[in-house]
Amino acid sequence: MHIFALSVTPASNWHTSGPQLEVQFARSTQKWVDGTNKTQIIEVVVNNIGSDFVLLDHSVTLTIESRGLETVTKGTIKRLHPGDQAIVEIGVVNKRGVKAGSSGNATVIISGQGMSSCSYTFTATYGIRPYEATYDSIYSHESPNWYNGAKYGIFIHWGVYSVPGWGNSGSKEGYAEWYWWDLNQGANYSTQTYEYHLQTYGPDITYDDFIQNFTADAWDPKSWVDLFADAGANYFVQVSKHHDGYAIFDLPANVTERTSVAQFPHRNLLQELFDAAAQYQPHLHRATYFSLPEWFNPDYKKYGFSVWPGGNATNPFTNQTLPYTGYVPVADYIDDIILPEMNALADMGTEIMWCDIGGPNKTVEFASAWYNRVAEEQNRQVVMNSRCGLPGDFDTPEYARYSGVQVRKWESSLGMDPFSYGYNRATPAASYMNASTIVTSLIDIVSKNGNFLLDVGPQANGTVLEVEQRNLREAGTWIKSHGEAIFNTTYWFVTPEEGDDVRFTITPDAFYILILAKPNSTLVLTSPIPWVSGDQVTVVGGRKCGEIVPTKKLSDGSVELKISPAVANADKYAWVFKIEY
């Protein structure tokens, strides 16, 4: 289903001079300005309904007038094309004596030089209210600005499935981390895991026998976080427990002993990784993937559905019922396993709860306590995806991406492997995603309001394949030198792209043109980009960073950039140009 929305605004009066701005919508949010003591963000959608540009000289500011709120950070608009739209944030705090969570009227005031002021009154919530364990309360949570601006993260699938590390190749490839499930589908299944296992290990080796071979004996967590930083990423999401139920972090003995602490390699791997990030790459946000169901946990049988049935697995070759290594009987899987495990991850400091599958849950109880605790005790904002059994804060297309802008935040995940998140020994080195594809994928996703979560699948000993390291670092060199056009940007309201190879991103201070293929000598843009006579278009990144690109407006309103061979030859993967306001 495709839903199209059109905003209709009144036609401007040609007798009025200067820009004409109109507030389309304003709302109070549950977000606050990072680095402040909960300076609440008011979000305002502003349209330029006139025929003149808003320019820096107009000194446009947005403030809030209210009996309950005081403006501490004004919103600004430095450039807005006629017909364009800006989403502006205003920072406010409650006036003395006003209770957080109370509500009342608030008025947005837009003022500037050489233009008429305008106002818009709406019902606001004063301050950040505590979350309650209800659907509506948790639904009011949204992705914080640090996550929206981070844009690029590294996904890591590493567990017992990394020992066999196999998912076939080509048209028969499947997720290698689904090895146990695929094995139990028997002969002639699409991935041929049954046949591979029989030939490689024989009928008497079961999945849980691989636990003793999950050694992590060559693992250096510092080398991982250094790699993620070299790649240009701003966060990582480590699989803490996949559908096989093996957790790589410590848990109480009355919850489970199916962990990397109680079993081989007898290490709290997740804690070691988090500690390394905190010590060596503290700018990296630390996050965890968590599967709510477990395929073959005996206590999940009560709740089992689809391909997460619960109940003990069988040996597909002998039909013998298999024990579930580390199993601890509990009264209720949700109360006694899911909730304690999610709380343990919260206690470890995860900043993104990246769930999988959903199913029966008590996520509202978990999320309300988590959100409130980190806000009150640590003044931190955390985020949850759409797979915890609730809509969450962002959507998660898998090995896919949206073709247009999605106003709701989203994150595309896929592996460097053609079709596996976990390590797959059947994948040829040449098939892994190269640096050019990493860069152009990131640009395309970011231009449409997405984040890019790129997965690596380490081997059982803890090493990341050399080809993945090399390609990540090569892409990272480009990403870092062009980061201003990627990080802390947002999408352009008019369009994210022009043709196949041009993408756009914006900040309050600049407009960026990103080209996904080596440009010719002339680039003509028919989209109404916010260029005005006197603007200098400059190169971002590459060996000609800062060089001015001759630019002019054509008779039909298009904008033409003259790109010299020297500029075209000074970069690779993608070419970026900037209009600074």
pLDDT, one tens digit per residue, over 329-342 is 999 999 999 999 99
Average of pLDDT values for 418-424?
98
Determine, yes or no, domain membership for 271. yes
Which of 485, 506, 538 terminates a domain? The answer is 485
CATH assignment of the domain containing 537? 2.60.40.1180
Closest CA to 42 of 60, 20, 63: 63
What distance lies between CA 438 and its chain's CA centroid? Answer: 15
Residue 16 has what pLDDT? Answer: 58
The share of the chain scoring above pLDDT 90, in percent, equals 97
Closest CA to 531 of 487, 555, 561, 567: 561
Q: Is the predicted pLDDT of residue 39 greater than 60, yes or no?
A: yes
Residue 9 has what pLDDT? Answer: 44
Determine, yes or no, domain membership for 533. yes
Residues 160, 55 within the same domain: no
pLDDT digits (tens, 9 = 90+) for 121-130: 999 999 999 9
Report the domain count for the chain: 3
The share of the chain scoring above pLDDT 70, in percent, equals 97
Residues 431, 463 within the same domain: yes
Q: Is the predicted pLDDT of residue 536 greater than 90, yes or no?
A: yes
Average of pLDDT values for 282-300?
98
Residues 517, 473 within the same domain: no
CA distances from 190 to 3, 194, 205, 431, 474 (A): 36, 10, 21, 20, 35
Residues 97, 168 within the same domain: no
Closest CA to 228 of 158, 187, 268, 276: 276
Non-local CB neighbours of 3 within 8 Å, separated by 6+ positions: none
Determine, yes or no, domain membership for 156. yes
Average of pLDDT values for 546-559?
98
Helix H or strand E segment including 223: helix 221-230
Residues 337, 381 within the same domain: yes
Q: Is the predicted pLDDT of residue 7 greater than 80, yes or no?
A: no
Which of 485, 514, 532 terminates a domain? The answer is 485
Alpha carbon distance 418, 124 (integer Å): 47
Residues 558, 479 within the same domain: no
Residue 138 has what pLDDT? Answer: 98
Determine, yes or no, domain membership for 313. no
Mean model confidence pLDDT for the chain:
96
Determine, yes or no, domain membership for 563. yes
Alpha carbon distance 421, 277 (integer Å): 22
Determine, yes or no, domain membership for 82. yes
Residue 76's domain comprises 21-129
Determine, yes or no, domain membership for 137. no
Residues 250, 379 within the same domain: yes
CATH assignment of the domain containing 460? 3.20.20.80
Average of pLDDT values for 530-551?
98
Determine, yes or no, domain membership for 199. no
Measured torsion, CA atoms of residues 14, 20, 26, 31, in degrees rounded to the nearest 10: 150
Residues 502, 557 within the same domain: yes
- Residue 147 contacts residue 352 (beta carbons within 8 Å): yes
pLDDT digits (tens, 9 = 90+) for 455-479: 999 999 999 999 999 999 999 999 9
What distance lies between CA 78 and its chain's CA centroid? Answer: 28
Residues 243, 368 within the same domain: yes
CATH assignment of the domain containing 34? 2.60.40.10
Residues 279, 379 within the same domain: yes
Which of 436, 469, 485 terminates a domain? The answer is 485
Residues 254, 337 within the same domain: yes
Residues 342, 407 within the same domain: yes
